[in-house]
Amino acid sequence: MEPFTQLKGIVTLLDLPNVDTDQIIPKQFLKRIERTGFGQYLFYDWRFVDGRALNPEFEMNQERYRGARILVTRANFGCGSSREHAPWSLEDYGFRCIIAPSFADIFYNNCFKNGMLPVQLQEEQVEQIFQRVRQTPGYELAVDLVDQTIRSEDGLKFRFEVDGFRRHCLLNGLDDIGLTLQYEAKIGEFERRAAG
């Protein structure tokens, strides 16, 4: 997994609460057996008109957001299904950080497994970012996982909380399975006890 330390990039907006994983990546694309190439289907029913032309009314499609690495959205992002295709498609599209007032549990967890950082800020802080992004085309944020801050050139500075272990894994690009296998003896011991 690619480590995540700092990220500076253009911010794009998705101004809706409760965005579910069916919207992030609709079911017809879950039949693929690969882990890659899902970015083209991200927010498919919203991004495209009839599956072809970009929908001009979908804010993210505006030219000013091209190349965005950071997605800022509203509460309970990623609710619904456990499909890891959701973070795969966001990551493949180019996002490495998602900022929202809250996230659904499974989605939140799935992000970390894919080198993506979901940042939880307060509603008012998210609102401030929304306003500034709308006022300034090409608005950028700098996300720093080392000192757990989000900064902008026009003076925003928010500190965010993240679980220490998840932070450690993301900073170092650690693979969970590798970590767990360090405890293989204890797993074996647990199994023997359970069988006994």
Partner 1 sequence: MKRKTMFEKIWESHVVHEEPGKPSLIYIDRHLVHEVTSPQAFESLRLSGRKVRRPELTFATMDHNVPTTMRSLPITDPISAQQIETLRTNCREFGVTLFDLDSPEQGIVHVIGPELGVTLPGVTLVCGDSHTSTHGAFGALAFGIGTSEVEHVLATQCLLQERPKTFLIEVNGQRPYGVEAKDIILSIIGQIGTGGGTGSVVEYAGDTIRALSVEERMTVCNMSIEGGARAGMIAPDEKTFAYLRGRKYTPKDFDAAVARWKSLPSDPGAVFDRKLVINAATLTPQVTWGTNPGQVVAVDSRVPSPADFADPNDRKSAERALEYMGLKAGTPISDLAVERVFIGSCTNSRIEDLRVAAQFIRGRKVSSKVYAMVVPGSQPVKKKAEEEGLDRIFKDAGFDWRESGCSMCLGMNPDILKPGERCASTSNRNFEGRQGKGGRTHLVSPIMAAAAAIEGHFVDVRQYRTN
For partner 1, the closer CB: 53 or 181: 181
Q: Does 2 bind partner 1 (CB under 8 A)?
A: no
C-alpha atoms less than 13 angstroms from C-alpha of 164 in its C-beta half-sphere: 0
Among the listed residues 16, 49, 53, 171, the single contact to partner 1 using CB under 8 A: 16
Residue 153 CB, nearest approach to partner 1 (Å): 29
Structural contact between residues 84 and 141, judged by C-beta atoms closer than 8 angstroms:
no
Q: Does 113 bind partner 1 (CB under 8 A)?
A: yes
Q: Does 102 bind partner 1 (CB under 8 A)?
A: yes
Contacts of 89 (CB under 8 A, 6+ apart): 24, 25, 29, 38, 39, 41, 42
The residues that bridge with 119 in the sheet, in sequence order, are: 99
Residues in the chain, overall count: 196
Which range, of 5-13, 59-67, 71-79, 145-153, touches partner 1 by CB under 8 A? 71-79
Detail the DSSP E strand segments found in 17-171: 48-49, 53-54, 70-73, 97-100, 117-120, 140-144, 149-151, 157-159
Q: Does 5 bind partner 1 (CB under 8 A)?
A: no
Q: How many helices (H) and strands (E) does the chain have?
A: 8, 9
For partner 1, the closer CB: 110 or 125: 110
Among the listed residues 165, 171, 172, 173, the single contact to partner 1 using CB under 8 A: 165
Residues that bind partner 1 (CB under 8 A): 16-18, 20, 22-23, 26-28, 30-35, 45, 74-76, 79-84, 87, 102, 104-106, 109-110, 113-114, 163-165, 176-177, 179-181, 183-184, 186-187, 190-191, 194
